[in-house]
């Protein structure tokens, strides 16, 4: 595994990259800054709302140090030993990873509800092989996974990005060195050109994807490669940087720290990131590193970063980063949402297992002479550590409980005509059976998702699927967002009974209205407006349906001229926007039925049921609060549209003062605000009774 690259003219020590690879106290301190920012952010300290940029500082440091080692090896020996390089990485990183993944597996069983165990198991698998960032990126654009609780190994995404860099970057160095041998040109300039060929497209793609799919952009390696490339460029340019005068280096280092601080204190969850905003912390870190290459690096900011306490934290930074997040997730599961005080306490406590891991695992294995001299053994240790990580994923699945899912499941059918006084609608601790299996309840979705006709948030094409009596000429259209889509199983059942053809027109986070709204990150939801324009034309055209049934969430922020309106105006403008679209449907001659939005709970019902199958009252929620959270804008909109028929089935969804998680042996909700498809089907008779006199 040694690749000979044959540099045409090996260079002297001054150009060997030694400046990039000698021990740098300031870089150790910069590591401390990075990890402390991440800890402060994850602990919930409000003043450090942009502490997530600590990861970007780590990327620049990694690009600089790893490239410095590789360039030095190429320029002094004319070759890169892939075997030795990967062996160094394996003994440095993988043993500590294995310890934390195994500990995380145990923490999952002890603190997290069983519903989350399978998800965490897969997250551990992808973390052990360093591809978890791609799994998280997929979840970020998967509407059904968007509300999943944070994984205890979610922080491994950044380590995955770095490991992918470690895997591929030496190969690129070898290719560039081969090119240098063929061309006879300067190795330094060829490497910089190669870096530019990676960094520029990566930065441009980062800007584009951050605007188009911000959740995915945050995790994928292709939007982060340029940050590592910035560090790599510093290592290649180290001989030139070493000549910079003190009058340049000292101010540059301070300016770099200020840039990092500004990003950490001013950025927050609403910042479009990474994109162009990542330039500030990335270039800030680059300035600190560049300023410290030469002798002047020990002055000013470099001296401050190099003090003993900062070096100590920097040395532990990898282990601290590994440990802090699983402990925060476990603490949140045990105590609920953490206060800042508790968050800081847990983050600080993570230093203890981090120090033990550093002293007993990370450092001894990293510096073991036998492993350093025998790369094969080091690779074997790395393979063993990876195997331990994979085995850790098996532990939660081995302890997954079984639930009694056999038995009658009448759901809403168990309720009488006066559900508010029906004891079957009151929360109880135990039921004879639970359907669906609590571990599968989150996937108990309307058919529109699996059938591919529930439009995503990115696209504007109007998709439709047909249910009920597919050959019927009497058409009922179901229109709206996911809160409308949850009624598809109900209407499918009614359509089969009544001989109606049910056409679905639904889109994620986009109801049926004529106003512009924002996405979750406060940007204009243009695909929603485009979808609504096309949909209204279809619903009021020559092929209009006989009945339009609509429902939806009331939690939208209206935009006027691209700016969000204030809370006082939002409700009225949103109601007017719904009424405009609904009025157009009525004027076209179709019946309009508005289904009242369902209660919005403050807990994840399947998760709670999986944890408390014999104490289901723990999973009940206050009806008044749930209805208030659901909102009443639909009611205000319906009052504006003569002929609109409002149907409220919430007395069969939450009959009592406390909303029961299970009614008639059926889990009612698949998350805090969507019904399970199973329970929705059991509401068919009740909805049929309401629709019969309205649509005839």
Structure tokens at 482: 């996911």
Residue 629: C-alpha distances to residues 621, 624, 663 (Å): 12, 9, 21
Q: Count helices and strands (H / E) in the chain.
A: 31, 15
Alpha carbons within 13 angstroms on the beta-carbon side of residue 662 total 31
Structure tokens at 236: 């290649």
**Helix, strand, coil % in the chain, rounded to nearest 5:** 65, 10, 30
Positions in the chain short of pLDDT 50: 1-20, 143
Q: Where are the alpha helices (DSSP H) in 129-155?
A: 132-140
Looking at residue 17, its pLDDT comes to 43
Do residues 100 and 326 lie in contact, with contact meaning Cβ atoms separated by under 8 Å?
yes
Q: 3-class DSSP state for residue 60?
A: helix
User: Which secondary-structure segment (H or E) carries 373?
Assistant: helix 369-373
End-to-end CA distance of the chain: 77
Alpha carbons within 13 angstroms on the beta-carbon side of residue 283 total 10
Whole-prediction pTM: 0.86
Q: 3-class DSSP state for residue 695?
A: helix
Furthest-apart CA pair in the chain: how many Å? 92
Structure tokens at 158: 């950044």
Residue 573: C-alpha distances to residues 479, 558, 634 (Å): 20, 7, 12
Burial label, 82 (beta-carbon count in 10 A; 0-12, 13-18, 19+): middle
| Calculated CA dihedral for residues 628, 45, 523, 629, nearest 10 degrees | -10
| Calculated CA dihedral for residues 68, 73, 76, 79, nearest 10 degrees | -140
| Calculated CA dihedral for residues 410, 416, 420, 424, nearest 10 degrees | -40
Structure tokens at 361: 């695992």
Separation between Cα atoms, residue 47 and residue 52, nearest integer Å? 12
Looking at residue 12, its pLDDT comes to 40
Do residues 321 and 347 lie in contact, with contact meaning Cβ atoms separated by under 8 Å?
no
| Domain edges within the chain | 31-397, 411-695
Looking at residue 177, its pLDDT comes to 80
CA angle 452, 455, 461 (to 5 degrees): 110
Among 196, 180, 190, 159, smallest CA distance to 5 is for 180
Q: How many residues does the chain have?
A: 696
Do residues 385 and 95 lie in contact, with contact meaning Cβ atoms separated by under 8 Å?
yes
Looking at residue 6, its pLDDT comes to 39
Do residues 170 and 176 lie in contact, with contact meaning Cβ atoms separated by under 8 Å?
no
- Chain center to CA of 21: 35
pLDDT in tens, 309-366: 999 999 999 999 999 999 999 999 999 899 999 999 999 999 999 999 999 999 999 8
CATH 1.10.3470 is right for the domain spanning 411-695: no
């Amino acid at each position: 595994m040694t690749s000979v690259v044959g540099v045409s003219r090996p260079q002297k020590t001054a150009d060997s990259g030694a400046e990039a690879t000698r021990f740098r106290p300031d870089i150790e301190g910069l590591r401390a800054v990075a990890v402390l920012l991440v800890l402060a952010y994850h602990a919930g300290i409000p003043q450090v709302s942009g502490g997530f940029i600590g990861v970007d500082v780590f990327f620049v440091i990694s690009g600089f140090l790893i490239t410095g080692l590789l360039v030095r090896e190429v320029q002094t020996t004319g070759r890169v030993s892939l075997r030795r390089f990967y062996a160094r990485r394996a003994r440095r990183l993988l043993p500590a990873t294995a310890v934390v993944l195994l500990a995380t597996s145990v923490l999952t069983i002890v603190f997290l509800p069983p519903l989350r165990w399978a998800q965490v198991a897969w997250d551990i698998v992808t973390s052990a092989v360093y591809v978890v960032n791609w799994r998280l990126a997929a979840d970020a654009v998967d509407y059904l996974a968007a509300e999943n609780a944070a994984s205890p190994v979610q922080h491994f995404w950044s380590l995955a990005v770095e490991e992918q860099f470690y895997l591929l970057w030496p190969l690129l160095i070898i290719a560039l060195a081969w090119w240098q041998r063929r061309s006879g040109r300067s190795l330094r300039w060829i490497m910089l050109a190669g870096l530019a060929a990676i960094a520029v497209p990566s930065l441009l793609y980062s800007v584009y994807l951050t605007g188009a799919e911000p959740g995915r952009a945050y995790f994928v390696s292709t939007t982060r490669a340029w940050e590592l490339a910035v560090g790599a460029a510093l290592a290649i340019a180290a001989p030139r940087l070493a000549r910079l005068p003190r009058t340049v280096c000292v101010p540059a280092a301070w300016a770099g720290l200020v840039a990092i601080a500004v990003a950490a204190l001013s950025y927050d969850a609403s910042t479009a990131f990474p994109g162009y905003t990542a330039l500030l912390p990335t270039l800030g870190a680059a300035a600190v590193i560049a300023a410290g290459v030469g002798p002047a690096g020990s002055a000013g900011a470099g001296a401050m970063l190099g003090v003993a306490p900062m070096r100590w934290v920097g040395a532990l930074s990898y282990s601290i980063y590994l440990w802090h997040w699983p402990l925060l997730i476990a603490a949140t599961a045990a105590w609920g949402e953490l206060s800042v005080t508790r968050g800081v306490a847990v983050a600080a406590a993570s230093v203890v297992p981090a120090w033990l891991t550093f002293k007993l695992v990370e450092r001894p294995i990293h510096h073991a002479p036998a492993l350093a001299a025998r790369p094969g053994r080091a690779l074997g240790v790395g393979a063993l550590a990876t195997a331990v990580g994979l085995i850790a994923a098996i532990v939660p699945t081995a302890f997954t409980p079984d639930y009694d899912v056999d038995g009658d499941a009448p759901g809403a059918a168990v309720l009488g005509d006066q559900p508010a006084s029906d004891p079957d609608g009151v929360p109880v601790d135990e039921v004879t059976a639970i359907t669906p299996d609590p571990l599968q309840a989150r996937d108990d979705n309307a058919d529109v998702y699996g059938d591919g006709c529930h439009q995503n948030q990115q696209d504007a094409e109007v998709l439709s699927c047909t249910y009920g009596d597919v050959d019927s000429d009497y058409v009922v259209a179901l229109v709206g967002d996911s809160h409308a889509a949850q009624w598809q199983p109900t209407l499918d059942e009614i359509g089969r009974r009544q001989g109606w053809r049910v056409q679905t027109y639904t889109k994620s986070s986009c109801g049926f209205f004529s106003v512009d709204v924002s996405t979750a990150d406060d940007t204009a939801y243009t695909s929603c407006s485009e979808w609504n324009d096309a949909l209204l034309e279809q619903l009021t055209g020559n092929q209009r349906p006989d009945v339009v049934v609509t429902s939806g969430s009331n939690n939208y922020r209206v935009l006027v001229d691209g700016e969000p309106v204030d809370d006082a105006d939002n409700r009225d403008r949103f109601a007017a926007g719904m009424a405009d679209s609904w009025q157009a449907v009525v004027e076209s001659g179709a019946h309009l039925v508005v289904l009242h939005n369902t209660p919005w709970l403050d807990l994840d019902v399947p998760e709670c049921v999986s944890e408390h199958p014999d104490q289901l009252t723990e999973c009940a929620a206050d009806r008044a609060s749930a209805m208030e959270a659901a909102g009443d804008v639909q009611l205000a909109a319906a009052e504006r549209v003569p002929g609109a028929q409002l149907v409220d089935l919430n007395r069969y969804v939450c009959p009592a003062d406390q909303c029961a998680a299970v009614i008639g042996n059926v889990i009612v909700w698949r998350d805090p605000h969507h019904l399970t498809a199973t329970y929705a089907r059991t509401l068919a008779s009740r909805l049929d009774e309401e629709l019969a006199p309205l649509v005839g």
